[in-house]
Structure 1
């Protein structure tokens, strides 16, 4: 194999730790179903894309993020029991995939 072009290697490969996620645009709908849910009596919508869970406030247009998964989230569900409202479970892809259960507080 003959190399025709080689990109220069970056000299400094330090991670940028002060980036703050402000907005997520998109939804994983190609291979996931029933993963968009209303919370807080319709005031919020919860869904996912990539490895991020997104809580969208309908009135303000703001988003909050759950970023504890280290691979793509494939499933998201909300507990329907009236005694335990706003309990959300997410699961990610992988051979030994992680699952997370969280309580979403009302804003």
Structure 2
């Protein structure tokens, strides 16, 4: 629980940063607003679906705001500790759901265009 509080506190205090790429296409998905948050974390959007990819783990959290979320999905990506190489994405998805987003973990290839984004 303390870790959830810490993540939420970080999200409230961090400012928006990072350069955005126009888009990239990987298989049947076209990602927009691709933004490297840290060495291991990339935020991207695929239509209404937000992706927080942890490239070193080949995993991601997919999130959709169906209306009324307290924070946008990007804020959760920015709130992750950049010095941590192994995130508990199940816990992150749970936190996101508790704040109004539909969120779930999913396998995500680190070899795709999102993780290759600079």
TM range (shorter): 0.3 to 0.5
Structure with greater helix percent: 2
Structure index of larger Rg: 1
**Higher RCO, 1 vs 2 (CA within 8 Å, ≥6 residues apart):** 2
